[in-house]
Amino acid sequence: GAGVSQSPSNKVTEKGKDVELRCDPISGHTALYWYRQSLGQGLEFLIYFQGNSAPDKSGLPSDRFSAERTGGSVSTLTIQRTQQEDSAVYLCASSLNFQETQYFGPGTRLLVL
């Protein structure tokens, strides 16, 4: 079946603009995660959704970052008033439930000028 998909694959924006990144998880997966990988760094957890439960936002770096998951499927990560330090690869993953292996999408490469 289809894997996790993300769009856009690349995004270049100017400092101060808002951006939206989209994630389509694997069909039937109830858990969805956002991570980011900054240059030379490992993956950093951002936020986690499980079913209809309140999301775990403990990894969001600032209040400029928010995410939602509509209908338990597609998720959007929004970064407001982007800063140059937001430049990174943003990765989405999904799993059958919170106990199972996470499968990653290809990522969105964000560059803030």
Partner 1 sequence: DQQVKQNSPSLSVQEGRISILNCDYTNSMFDYFLWYKKYPAEGPTFLISISSIKDKNEDGRFTVFLNKSAKHLSLHIVPSQPGDSAVYFCAASARVIQGAQKLVFGQGTRLTINP
Binding to partner 1 by residue 101, rule CB under 8 A? Answer: yes
- Quick one: which segment of 11-19, 63-71, 74-82, 97-105 binds partner 1 (CB under 8 A)? 97-105
Q: Does residue 7 interact with partner 1 by CB under 8 A?
A: no
Which one of residues 48, 67, 87, 112 is an interface residue with partner 1 (CB under 8 A)?
48
Instruction: Verify binding: residue 55, partner 1, rule CB under 8 A.
Output: no
Q: Which residues of 27-47 are buried (b: 16+ CB within 10 A; e: fewer)?
A: eebbbbbbbbeeeeeebeebb
Return d(Cα 36, Cα 82) in angstroms, integer: 15
CA distance 43 to 23: 17
Binding footprint of partner 1 on the chain (CB under 8 A)? 4, 31, 33, 35, 40-45, 48, 50, 56, 58-59, 91, 93, 95, 98-107
